[in-house]
Amino acid sequence: MTYIPANIARVPNLLRTNLALGNISRTQLSLLDVQNQLSTGKEISRPSDDPIRYAGIQVLARRQAQSEQVQRNLSNANASLGVLDNALSEVNDVALQAKQIALAQVNSLSTATERSSQATIVNQLITGLVKTANREGVSGYVFGGSNPGTQPLKEINGGYRFMAQGNGLLADLGYADTVPITLGPSAGVGSTSARVRGDVDLNPNLTTGTKITDLRGARGLGVSLGTVQFSFNGGPTATVDLSGSDTVQDVATKLTNAIKSYETTNSVTVLAGAGVTVNADRLQINVAAGGSLVVSDVGKGVTAQDLGLNSTFTPVAPNGAGVDPKLAWTTPVSALAGVTGALGSIRINQLGRSAVVDLSTATTLQDVKSAIESLDIGLRVELDPSGKGINVLSDVSTSANLALSIEEVTGNNSTATRLGIRTFAATTPLSVFNNGKGVQVVDNVTNPATGLVDPELNYDFKITLGNTPTAAVVKVDLRPQDLTNVQTVLARINSQIASQLPGQGLLATDLVAQLADGANGITLVQNNTFGQPIKVEQANNSTAGTQLGLVGGSYNGATSTFSGTDTAKVRTDNLVTYLIDLRDALQTNSVSGIQLAGENIDRIIGLISETRGMVGGYAQRVDFASKIEDDRNAIDTKVRSELQDVDYTAAATRFSLLQTQLQASLQTTARAQATSLLDFLS
């Protein structure tokens, strides 16, 4: 209220007026603040109201805004997972219907006509499955992997190519932030073959262009760049900071410059010849005659150790330790120590196409990748995660006769084998034969009469060769320990040949089992003087000869060679593949094919169930995260309200008091202003 302080006597009218106006203004300002609080419902509207409370309010506001976005993301994720679950349910229904068809048609009572009509139904199931695989949700294609904007499944030359890659799309989902809202490759819809893995360590040498990040380092822990020190012939010590180096050339340049500066400062000659360079998989420092250069780490640093430079370099010992470079697409073909000799051509078969790929002009691994992928038949070339080899992956579900195989081209120095990508090589494990079913043999079969293991009941196939009527027969008994890879099978067959032919008047060398420099498959080559074709026949109901591709092979009289078929072709392991198998088996009236397709479909049904369970788990996590966000947002809203919102009762009371105060101030001021000197004199 307006008043004149008691300690001020006989004041000028101007001072009294200013005091009164100041007090009235402050009252009006307080009244305005309370009016704003009552109209907005907020006690704190700007930093000046209460800096500490305002800062807390802003923190809560930001967190609530983030929570609202997370809640919207969770809502979208829940919708996407719902679409995904429905799609998987349809996929499961397709698989179950296909299984029922296989079970019904595998019996001997079904006719070829009935099976052919069922093949039409299976073809319709494939069409429906493709539509389901391309189902779209709120986040794009639900089976689109990490790039849901791309259609996952596309038809290509009689097959179906699965384009999606990655494990799924991730979004900011709060406590469910690791939950993908789309799926990538899966057994139910489409997956990528992971079987054509390079089985050769290409062992790249170090080049000046090798990136430091592509080095495993001398300790096998990568390379940690920092400062190293060096001295020459026991002289002064100098340091060089290798931080920031991107390539091996950067390291070599910094070392060279530092050593050159050392030479000038100390009037010595340290480097000779090429100076700091590379040799095989390590750095090399060429030291002048009679010199000794000691390189070491500074303090607890490990840079010299990682780069293989923690050593003493002399003219006779110029090399550091190996730093084990990884493969990169920029790695020159000439730097591949694991590939001896120049590259030639390879043959790739897929989707009914057979193409010869010339790699002789490839200068880097990127050129190899581009040459293979440019065929546009559903292949991708990737660096193996180990950094030691390359993998050729097929994205296409197709029939068995159109599956992927990589062969040699005769006279091209076994290029596919040396790159480690031949699909039927000596090192190929038998477990991948016949689309992962492997090779089964008869073993330890006993004679019912004697109760003893009978050799005549335990061999798997027989090979007939020679001249009529003196043809020889080799009975091949494969044992479980012989089923490791192609090489162990060849070794067993050749040992059986060597042990049985001499007893029939032939030489042990008159027949040899081997891999040809050309088409895939086991070949049997007999003495070219023999006129009788080689024959391979099944024995003791063993399927080994057929599974190895020998039963059903062909004989070439011009070369005296029997060529087996390729049973190690690469196919994608998913429902689309096996529906195609079932359709083809029904069309060709193949009971064994129907049975095999049915078994694979049954296995896939189990994998689909696991996938649905996983998606269900994702949905539960999303629901749980939604509840957490709701609870947290409610608490934040309460705390923010306590900090910011006005107490209407208190504000209304204060508003009334300020009105009374303002009225009193105005009345007091009016009376005071009406008093003059004459009032005192009178």
User: Does residue 184 contact residue 221 with C-beta atoms inside 8 Å?
Assistant: no
Cα–Cα distance for residue pair 487/514, rounded to 1 Å: 9
In 280-425, at which residue ranges do the beta strands (DSSP E only) sit?
A: 282-287, 293-297, 312-313, 345-350, 353-358, 379-383, 390-394, 396-397, 405-408
Of the candidates 411, 403, 316, 388, the residue with the CA atom closest to the CA atom of residue 581: 403
Would you call 429 exposed, middle or buried from its count of C-beta atoms within 10 A (0-12, 13-18, 19+)?
middle
pLDDT at 6: 52
pLDDT at position 430 over 80: yes
Measured CA to CA in angstroms, residue 575 lies from 137, 183, 334 at distances of 22, 15, 42
What is the average pLDDT value for the chain, to the nearest integer? 90
CB 222 within 8 A of CB 306: yes
Question: How many other β-carbons are positioned within 10 Å of the β-carbon of residue 3?
Answer: 14
Residue 208 in this model has a pLDDT that exceeds 60:
yes
* Domain ranges in the chain with CATH number 2.60.40: 212-313
Encode pLDDT of 542-557 as tens digits: 999 999 999 999 999 9
Average pLDDT of the segment spanning 73-89 = 92
Strands 271-279 and 345-350: unpaired
Cβ 361 vs Cβ 173: under 8 Å: no
pTM of the model: 0.80
What residue type is assigned to position 116 of the chain?
A: S
Directed axis angle between helix 51-105 and helix 112-133, to 10°?
170
Secondary structure of residue 338 in the 3-state scheme = coil
Please tell me the least confidently modeled range out of 26-40, 112-126, 386-400: 26-40
The pLDDT of residue 194 = 61
pLDDT at 7: 52
Give every strand in the sheet of 472-476, ordered side by side: 472-476, 461-465, 535-538
Task: Look at residue 650 in the predicted model and tell me its pLDDT.
Answer: 80
Which tokens in the block code for residue 222?
């990568």
pLDDT score of 675: 65
Task: Output the pLDDT for position 12.
Answer: 66
Token pair 């090979």 is found at 463
**How confident is the model at residue 296, as a pLDDT?**
96
Instruction: Tell which residue, 431, 430, 435, 463, has the closest CA to residue 550.
Output: 463
Q: Is residue 197 over pLDDT 90?
A: no
Mean pLDDT computed over 250-257: 96
Encode pLDDT of 227-250 as tens digits.
Answer: 999 999 999 999 999 999 999 999
Residues 566-596: pLDDT tens digits? Answer: 999 998 889 999 999 999 999 999 998 999 8
Overall residue count recorded for the chain in this entry: 682
Per-residue confidence band for 664, with pLDDT thresholds at 50, 70 and 90: confident
* Whether the Cβ atoms of residue 250 and residue 211 lie closer than 8 Å to each other: no
- Closest-CA residue to 126 (of 574, 599, 436): 574
Q: pLDDT for 28-74, tens place per residue?
A: 777 777 777 778 778 787 887 778 888 887 888 888 888 888 899 88
* Average pLDDT of the residues in 293-317: 95
Q: What are the start and end residues of each CATH 1.20.1330.10 domain in the chain?
A: 63-188+576-630
- The answer to whether 520 and 567 are in contact (CB under 8 A) is no
Q: Using an 8 Å Cβ cutoff, are 248 and 207 in contact?
A: yes
CA distance 325 to 306: 12
CATH of domain 63-188+576-630: 1.20.1330.10
Nearest to 229 by CA among 292, 291, 290, 309: 309
Query: Cα–Cα–Cα angle for 338, 305, 287, nearest 5°?
Result: 80
pLDDT of 195 reads: 65
The gap between the terminal CA atoms of the chain, to the nearest Å, is 28
H/E stretch holding 463: strand 461-465
Q: How far is CA 180 from the centre of its chain?
A: 15
Q: Is 416 exposed, middle or buried (0-12, 13-18, 19+ CB in 10 A)?
A: buried
> Residues near 180 by Cβ (< 8 Å), separated by ≥ 6?
167, 168, 169, 170, 618
Asked whether the predicted pLDDT for residue 2 surpasses 50, the reply is no
Looking at the domain covering 212-313, what would its CATH class be? mainly beta
Q: Alpha helices, DSSP H only, in 468-537?
A: 486-500
Percent of the chain surpassing pLDDT 90: 67
How far is it, in rounded angstroms, from Cα 180 to Cα 199?
32
Cα–Cα–Cα angle for 565, 567, 570, nearest 5°?
130
Question: 228 pairs with which residues across the strands?
Answer: 240, 297
pLDDT of residue 185: 86
If pLDDT is split at 50, 70 and 90, which confidence band does 1 have? very low
